[in-house]
Amino acid sequence: MIDEWPGASTVGRFDPETGVQFVICLDSILNGPAAGGTRATHYADRASAIEDAQRLAGAMTLKMAVCGLPMGGGKSVISLPVPREQLTSREWERILAIHAENIEMLGGNYWTGPDVNTTSADMDVLAGKTRYVFGRSEAAGGVGSSAPTTALGVHSAMRATAAHLGWGTLDGRTVLIQGVGAVGADLASRVADDGARVIVADPSPARLAEAERRGYAVVSTSDVLTTPCDVFAPCALGGIIDSSVAATLPAHAVVGAANNPLADATASQVLADRGVVFAPDFVANAGGALHLVGREVLGWGAEEVDARAAGLGKIIKAAYDLADRERIPTDAAARFIAAGRSAVPA
Ligand code: HCI
């Protein structure tokens, strides 16, 4: 938990029956209601759950701002006492019902959506109890998964990075993708189509079998941060690059879908000092927010959303250019760009 967190509100609740801690953080409501997904996972303690929600909500504010979307940033964390797959369906139903009640209490200042371990089907359940839900299934009247749009945006960011590094394209480059869930797998096929050599790492044997079937190389999850590559693409959980990893990561660029891949404030400076180009995560992965907010709030069609996600590379390039000009990390440059587009302080 960040004691001097400057966000708008953190609310919490404990359910003695399931042992679950619920946290909802509203980082900012200056540009509109706070929005961001619901993450259900295990945390060491309540303070770490709150800290993660606070940091993730902050990234959502920046993501909305940099895309000019009329929303603030928020995030929900459902901290489970056991891994998600060990919950019975009755327990999970109860957890979703309590979460819906918490969202409803915020009266529309917070809108949720799918995130780690929550799906469109879960959003359908929540939507039965509160209207402040994005990303219901298409069958239930929503716009479904945002994973393909997120992958499209990350791909655009990666192409912009290749151009910035003077490579021209990704052809012949090695891209190491950490996590081949819905976003990572889609990204893998996009970069393979560009002629890149794809290496993947994932704890799931089924996903690795699919990767091998597609002709990708595989490395163990423990070798991810020491395997040489041109582009490292974190597409799993955040917090993997701390200052010491940043000092040694054998890659020329970091461009992925994970939220908050940098674990500490100095990691981006360490990467910059080594000439490792970091694509600010809240720009590279903003395709999901464009899909959910663009389609469900702004009434955009799929073509408009895809055009904007494909344009994220231009924002990434603007951040790289500003970073070069001002001699600041790319992450700081992207924060300035976000601040210039909204009521968000830099
Ligand atoms: C994300 O980008 O991390 C989640 C996208 C999102 C946007 C708006 C509401 C919920 C989730």
Over residues 13-30, the pLDDT tens digits come to: 999 999 999 999 999 999
In one letter, which amino acid is 260?
N
Q: Is the pLDDT of residue 230 over 90?
A: yes
pLDDT per residue as tens digits for the range 296-321: 999 999 999 999 999 999 999 999 99
pLDDT over 80 at 4, yes or no = yes
3-state SS of the chain?
CCCCCCCCEEEEEEECCCCEEEEEEECCCCCCCEECCEEEECCCCHHHHHHHHHHHHHHHHHHHHHCCCCCEEEEEEEECCCCHHHCCHHHHHHHHHHHHHHHHHCCCCEEECECCCCCHHHHHHHHCCCCCECCCCCCCCCCCCCHHHHHHHHHHHHHHHHHHCCCCCCCCCEEEEECCCHHHHHHHHHHHHCCCEEEEECCCHHHHHHHHHCCCEECCHHHCCCCCCCEEEECCCCCCECHHHHHHCCCCEECCCCCCCECCCCHHHHHHHCCCEECCHHHHCCHHHHHHHHHHCCCCCHHHHHHHHHCHHHHHHHHHHHHHHHCCCHHHHHHHHHHHCCCCCC
Atom of ligand 1 nearest to the CA of 146: 5
Q: Is the pLDDT at 1 greater than 90, yes or no?
A: no
343, pLDDT greater than 90:
no
Distance 76 CA to ligand 1 centre (A): 11
Tokens at residue 345, please?
């302080």
pLDDT at 342: 77
- Pocket test residue of 123, 134, 183, 260 for ligand 1, highest count of atoms within 8 A of CB: 134
Q: Which of 28, 146, 149, 291 to mutate to test the pocket of ligand 1 (most atoms within 8 A of CB)?
A: 146
Residue 230 phi, psi (nearest 5): -85, -45
Question: Does the active-site annotation cover 129?
Answer: no
CB 64 less than 6 A from any atom of ligand 1: no
Q: Is 113 in the pocket of ligand 1 (CB under 6 A)?
A: yes
Q: What is the ipTM of this complex?
A: 0.93
Predicted pLDDT at 346: 53
Going from the C-alpha of 108 to that of each of 8, 101, 198, 290, the distances in angstroms are: 14, 12, 43, 19
Which of 25, 69, 110, 115 for a ligand 1 pocket mutation test, highest count of atoms within 8 Å of Cβ? Answer: 115
User: What's the CA-to-centroid distance between 107 and ligand 1, angstroms?
Assistant: 19
Atom of ligand 1 nearest to the CA of 150: 2
Q: In what order do the strands lie in the sheet with 174-178?
A: 217-218, 197-201, 174-178, 231-234, 253-254, 277-278
Intra-chain end-to-end CA distance of the chain, in Å? 22
Q: What is the pLDDT of residue 341?
A: 83
Cβ(289) – ligand 1 distance below 6 Å:
yes
Candidate list 75, 129, 314, 317, residue with the active-site label:
75
pTM score, whole prediction: 0.96
Mean per-residue pLDDT over the chain, rounded: 96
Residue 144 CA to ligand 1 centre (angstroms):
12
